[in-house]
Structure 1
Amino acid sequence: MKIILIGYMGSGKSSVGKALATHLSVKFLDLDAKICAEENKTIPEIFSTNGEIYFRRKEAEVLKKLLEREESYVLSLGGGTPCYGKNMQLIKNTASVTSIYLKTGLLQLKERLIVEKDSRPLIQDLKTPEVLEDYIRKHLFERTFYYNQSDLTVLTDSKSVEEVVHKVVESLD
């Protein structure tokens, strides 16, 4: 059993993923953390020294390796991962994978991301809440097509991590 968590940055993929993995007694994996370990750099360092295209190629390579593993796990993807190359197709075509879209609304995402802005290279230069909201809106419009290809969708607005985990477990049964 491989559970892949998909959603926009700030949707709770890492928090929910850790709690879900604990609940299911399986390993939690974070795609960005695996990329950082392989590159021996942070995501912002990879973006600034190698650029986004390099990062996206590395992301696809590490994703493929993780999907080839035999073990059960919960894997949290980066927000853009399903939207680049053939990543979503690869996820959908891998046996024993259930992809789950953690769907979070625009205003909830803005609230979460405004406080995390400095640690996220794609949004750190956005100066006002209005610019951030426009940025998120544009990305959600572009990415929803890919996110909606997930096997399951769980709404996360106004839910605690525990409530989202409960909804995910309920959806898996």
Structure 2
Amino acid sequence: MTIILLGYMASGKSLVSKLLGKQLGLPVLDLDDFIERKEEKTIREIFETKGEIYFRMKEHQYLKEVLETKQAMIVSLGGGTPCYANNMNLIHEYTTHTFYLQTSIPEIINRVKDEKAKRPLISAIADEDLPEFIGKHLFERNAFYQQATHTVFTDKKQIEELVLEIETVLN
């Protein structure tokens, strides 16, 4: 069984995938970490040196490589992965277990406000401009996120609660 977690930055994909993997006894693969290992560069370095088009092409290639193993695992996607190169269609060829971790704009802002420097997408955006930027970005990505087979609302929930919700759907 392959389980895919997707959603916007700070939706909890990485934390949820780690605990879910532990609970289900499945390996966890963070696609961004996988790309960084394969390319021997950070995502930020790839964007800076090769550009977004190159990154999205490689992201698709590595996603396909991971899915084609047909290994039972949990895959945590980058926030933009579902939105490019027909990646959602590719994902649905390999699994029906896709979970959109949906998080509200105020909750995202609350989670990222102290770690902007670690997030290239928002590092240069003024705090007062974050709501508009994130709102616009979420609006653009929503059609892709909504293609997930399940939606889990993350606001005001502990990681353990989110994992339990996902486990309940899987059982």
- TM-score higher than 0.5: yes
In structure 1, the residue corresponding to 2:157 is in which secondary structure? coil
Per-residue CA deviation, residues 32-71 of structure 1 (Å, 9 max, x unaligned), is 0000001111111111111111111111010000110122
What is the one-letter code of the residue matched to 1:167? E
Gaps in structure 1 of 5+ consecutive residues = none
The corresponding residue for 2:119 is 120
In 2, Cα distance between the equivalents of 1:51 and 1:5? Answer: 25
Q: How many positions carry a matched residue from both structures?
A: 171
Contact 1:31–1:63 (CA<8 Å) still a contact in 2?
Answer: yes
The corresponding residue for 2:148 is 150
In structure 2, the residue corresponding to 1:11 is in which secondary structure? coil
In 2, Cα distance between the equivalents of 1:89 and 1:70? Answer: 16
What is the one-letter code of the residue matched to 1:6? L
The corresponding residue for 1:109 is 108
- In the superposition, the TM-score normalised over structure 2's length comes to 0.97
Q: CA RMSD in A?
A: 0.9
Structure 1 residue 39 corresponds to structure 2 residue 45: no
Structure 1 residue 78 corresponds to structure 2 residue 78: yes
In structure 2, the residue corresponding to 1:82 is in which secondary structure? helix
The corresponding residue for 1:98 is 97
Deviates more, 1:29-38 or 1:52-61: 52-61
Gaps in structure 2 of 5+ consecutive residues = none
In structure 2, the residue corresponding to 1:138 is in which secondary structure? helix
What is the one-letter code of the residue matched to 2:142? T
The corresponding residue for 2:19 is 19
Q: Percent identity?
A: 49
In 1, Cα distance between the equivalents of 2:84 and 2:77? Answer: 12
